[in-house]
């Protein structure tokens, strides 16, 4: 019994000693196996079945599959997609398909290769390419100079979409397009496509402009607007044309609303509201233009708030205009809106008018006085020319009579003085 126990104990001891050694050997073998792998040079194989398909206006779907011959490993793989035409672009993705927004009227070409996703020491695979040929059509028949603008208007009918975006596009007929060519315009925003219903025509009745009063465009959106114009003619196959527009570049921002201004003493305060737009008020930059009518100079201020208070040192009429733009804080830099209709504030300076008026009055008074004095002088001359001759002689006779009577008595002095006065009076009268 004791011997048996001893044997069992010994076996246990052996097992206890051997187990870690076995584990060490096993671990070493695993590590050695792992070490063997890099010597093999892990090769990345290019993807297979690379296809490009036009799925929509100015939209393609790139699709590929991982190479079935690729060795399985724990290295994460990704794909490097390179667009060669119409515009070079690169990106890496782990997906095996990609939707891409691009113009197609010049054709489309792209390449894919397998790359390690995180480990950059491994070499990427070789390239696999595919392309979409440009659509058929006689060169020079496609439209040129396509320009589009969007505008936002308030829509009172629905609460779900309080703002409506309209779209207006114009273009020129291709220089080699036959006279009977007719063009048709389509736009795509996200997954909505619409055909134009309102066209403007040129002299030869060909469509050269298009108007959408309401569109599916979301003015706050960041997706591109795709516009496609194709044509039909009996004389030639018309080449289609497409173009992508970034919303911030074609959006015509409305002018600020309800611009009001008032002057209180030397304080000019101007207030306005945000333009009709889906963007909130903190997304706008403003420019205020103040024109001093008296001095004839402009003053512009850049603002981000809706009120401007400025001190004016001049009594004059001021013309005020404000314009807005969506701030780079909310959207990529776009165009300024039109200036708002000018509003006038302040009175025209009364001083010049009153001054001139006073001066004119003074001048007329002086003139009148001058004329009067002249007339008086003329009158003197008149009287000198035609003096009343008989008058003075009769009075002189009375004068001598009086002097003789004076000597006789003082009772007659009253009569004498009266007679003297009467004589002088008549003398005066005769002079004037």
Partner 1 sequence: MRWPGNMERIVICLMVIFSGTVAHKSSSQGQDRLFIRLRQLIDIVDQLKNYVNDLDPEFLPAPEDVKRHCERSAFSCFQKVQLKSANNGDNEKIINILTKQLKRKLPATNTGRRQKHEVTCPSCDSYEKKPPKEYLERLKSLIQKMIHQHLS
- Rounded to whole angstroms, the Cα distance separating 249 from 247 reads 5
- Rounded to whole angstroms, the Cα distance separating 408 from 404 reads 7
| 115 vs 322, beta carbon nearer partner 1 | 115
- Least distance from partner 1 to the Cβ atom of residue 34, Å: 24
Structure tokens at 205: 């009745």
Angle between helices 413-431 and 390-408 (to 10 degrees): 170
- Least distance from partner 1 to the Cβ atom of residue 168, Å: 25
Find where tokens 């025509």 sit: 201
| 71 vs 89, beta carbon nearer partner 1 | 89
- Rounded to whole angstroms, the Cα distance separating 320 from 298 reads 10
Angle at CA 225, nearest 5°, toward 222 and 228?
Answer: 165
Find where tokens 């003493």 sit: 265
- Least distance from partner 1 to the Cβ atom of residue 149, Å: 21
Near partner 1 by CB under 8 A: residue from 282, 347, 377, 380: 282
Near partner 1 by CB under 8 A: residue from 6, 71, 92, 421: 92
- Rounded to whole angstroms, the Cα distance separating 11 from 171 reads 96
Residues that contact partner 1, how many (by CB under 8 A): 23
| 280 vs 388, beta carbon nearer partner 1 | 280
Helix then strand then coil, % of the chain, to nearest 5: 30, 35, 35
Near partner 1 by CB under 8 A: residue from 67, 93, 129, 306: 93
**Of the ranges 72-80, 341-349, 363-371, 381-389, which one interacts with partner 1 (CB under 8 A)?**
72-80
- Least distance from partner 1 to the Cβ atom of residue 263, Å: 34
Asked if 274 interacts with partner 1 (CB under 8 A), we say: no
Asked if 75 interacts with partner 1 (CB under 8 A), we say: no
- Rounded to whole angstroms, the Cα distance separating 229 from 186 reads 6
Q: Which of residues 208-227 bind partner 1 (CB under 8 A)?
A: 220, 222
Asked if 95 interacts with partner 1 (CB under 8 A), we say: yes
Of 279, 167, 169, nearest in space to 222 by CA: 279
Near partner 1 by CB under 8 A: residue from 38, 213, 280, 388: 280
- Least distance from partner 1 to the Cβ atom of residue 343, Å: 29
Site string for partner 1, 321-350 (x = CB under 8 A): -------xxxxx------------------
Near partner 1 by CB under 8 A: residue from 25, 27, 87, 91: 91
**Of the ranges 53-61, 131-139, 200-208, 274-282, which one interacts with partner 1 (CB under 8 A)?**
274-282
Near partner 1 by CB under 8 A: residue from 66, 78, 116, 392: 78
Give the number of other Cβ atoms within 10 Å of residue 345's Cβ: 18
The SS3 call for residue 65 is: strand
| 216 vs 318, beta carbon nearer partner 1 | 216
Q: How many CA atoms lie within 13 A of 255 on its CB side?
A: 11
- Rounded to whole angstroms, the Cα distance separating 340 from 258 reads 9
- Least distance from partner 1 to the Cβ atom of residue 332, Å: 8
H-helix or E-strand spanning residue 36: helix 2-40
Terminus-to-terminus CA distance in the chain, angstroms? 182
| 206 vs 331, beta carbon nearer partner 1 | 331
- Least distance from partner 1 to the Cβ atom of residue 76, Å: 8
Site string for partner 1, 115-154 (x = CB under 8 A): --x--x----------------------------------
- Least distance from partner 1 to the Cβ atom of residue 123, Å: 15
Near partner 1 by CB under 8 A: residue from 108, 279, 286, 318: 279
Query: 312: exposed, middle or buried (C-beta count within 10 Å: 0-12, 13-18, 19+)?
Result: middle
| 97 vs 195, beta carbon nearer partner 1 | 97
| Range list of H helices, 299-350 | none
Contacts with 101 (C-beta within 8 Å, 6 or more apart), sequence order? 58, 59, 223, 224, 226, 244
| φ and ψ at residue 212, rounded to 5 degrees | -110, 110
- Rounded to whole angstroms, the Cα distance separating 52 from 110 reads 8
Query: 114: exposed, middle or buried (C-beta count within 10 Å: 0-12, 13-18, 19+)?
Result: buried
Near partner 1 by CB under 8 A: residue from 41, 94, 133, 407: 94
| 274 vs 323, beta carbon nearer partner 1 | 274
| 248 vs 317, beta carbon nearer partner 1 | 248
Q: Which residues bind partner 1 (CB under 8 A)?
A: 76, 78, 80, 90-95, 98, 117, 120, 220, 222, 279-280, 282-283, 328-332
């Amino acid at each position: 019994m004791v011997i048996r126990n001893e044997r069992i104990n010994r076996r246990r001891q052996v097992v206890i000693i051997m187990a870690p050694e076995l584990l060490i050997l096993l671990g070493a073998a695993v590590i050695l196996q792992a070490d063997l792998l890099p010597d093999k040079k892990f090769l990345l194989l290019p993807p297979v079945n690379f296809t490009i398909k036009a799925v929509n206006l100015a939209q393609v779907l790139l699709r590929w599959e991982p190479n079935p011959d690729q060795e399985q490993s724990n290295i994460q793989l990704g794909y490097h997609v390179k667009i060669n035409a119409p515009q070079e672009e690169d990106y890496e993705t782990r997906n095996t398909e990609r939707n891409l927004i691009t113009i197609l009227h010049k054709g489309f070409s792209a390449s894919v290769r397998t790359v390690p996703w995180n480990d950059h020491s491994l070499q990427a695979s070789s390239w696999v390419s595919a392309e979409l040929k440009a659509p058929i059509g006689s060169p020079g028949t496609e439209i040129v100079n396509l320009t589009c603008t969007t505008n936002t208007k308030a829509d009172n009918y629905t609460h779900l979409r309080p703002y409506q975006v309209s779209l207006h596009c114009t273009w020129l007929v291709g220089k080699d397009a036959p006279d009977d060519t007719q063009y048709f315009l389509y736009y795509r925003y996200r997954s909505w496509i619409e055909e134009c219903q309102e066209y403007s025509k040129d002299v030869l009745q060909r469509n050269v402009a298009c108007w959408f009063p309401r569109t599916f465009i979301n003015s706050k959106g960041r997706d591109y607007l795709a516009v496609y114009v194709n044509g039909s003619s009996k004389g030639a196959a018309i080449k289609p044309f497409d173009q992508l527009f970034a919303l911030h570049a074609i959006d015509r921002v409305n002018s600020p609303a309800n611009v009001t201004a008032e002057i209180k003493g030397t304080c000019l305060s101007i207030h306005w509201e945000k333009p009709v737009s889906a963007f909130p008020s903190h997304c706008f930059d403003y420019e205020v233009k103040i024109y001093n009518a008296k001095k004839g100079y402009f003053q512009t201020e850049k603002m981000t708030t809706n009120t401007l208070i400025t001190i004016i040192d001049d009594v004059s009429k001021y013309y005020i205009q404000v314009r807005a733009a969506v701030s780079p804080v909310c959207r990529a830099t776009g165009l300024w809106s039109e200036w708002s209709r000018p509003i006038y504030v302040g009175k025209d300076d009364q001083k010049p008018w009153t001054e001139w008026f006073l001066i004119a009055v003074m001048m007329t008074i002086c003139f009148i006085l001058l004329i009067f004095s002249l007339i008086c002088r003329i009158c003197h001359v008149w009287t000198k020319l035609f003096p009343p001759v008989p008058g003075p002689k009769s009075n002189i006779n009375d004068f001598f009579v009086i002097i003789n009577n004076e000597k006789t008595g003082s009772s007659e002095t009253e009569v004498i003085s009266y007679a003297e006065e009467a004589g002088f009076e008549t003398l005066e009268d005769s002079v004037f």
